[in-house]
Structure 1
């Protein structure tokens, strides 16, 4: 049950951090209007709130989110920046995801 509850929260957190960061990137690096940056900052602040919805402790939440962020960043770049991950990107992301799943979901006594 913990997996069913935590995965959507991790995905929402990823969308907030990557989406907010992407809007900031577009504003600062691509010359988009100021409102891109302001909206990006607001979304990034919301990311900080979303992460607190997880039930595990800070260390496990942020470590696990890091691995999920790796995968989501590659997917975001593929969708929005025409970036095609190579086999090493995919292998590395898979290893990171496996590692953080062990950190977060392994049974503990």
Structure 2
């Protein structure tokens, strides 16, 4: 299996940035609706969700396989968000689950025909 490292890294980075935009698009409304923060946060909400939708168009193909792999990276990113933005310590169950989904995403991304097509 001959996979170009840059393509794998680019795919992972694209998934990671897409996940961050999706999380931001949900986090800002949470701050507005549950924390009483400024209504001006709707502006970055719209920008984040717009970026999220645009980033989805950059993925290698629109298929269930892409979204399955993205889901694993999304979960990993959400756990990082929980730890570093929400300042919540991750449990060993969080860490084990994060490892499982990363392994699952890697299996999908790195399957024999190459990086997701």
TM-score by length of 2: 0.84
Which is helix-richer, 1 or 2?
Answer: 1
Aligned length: 109
User: Which residue in 2 is equivalent to 1:25?
Assistant: 30
Which 5+ residue runs of structure 1 have no aligned equivalent?
none
- Computed over aligned residues only, the root mean square deviation of the Cα atoms, in angstroms, reads 1.6
2:12 partner SS: helix
Choose between structure 1 and 2 for higher RCO, CA contacts under 8 A separated by at least 6 residues: 2
Which 5+ residue runs of structure 2 have no aligned equivalent?
none
User: Which residue in 1 is equivalent to 2:100?
Assistant: 95
Runs of 4+ with >4 A deviation: none
Residue pairs, 1:25-64, within 5 angstroms:
25-64=30-69
TM-score by length of 1: 0.89
Residue pairs, 1:69-80, within 5 angstroms:
69-80=74-85
1:11 and 2:16 matched: yes
Following superposition, the deviation at residue 55 of structure 1 comes to 1.1
1:36 partner SS: helix
Answer yes or no: is the 8 Å Cα contact 1:24–1:41 preserved in 2.
no
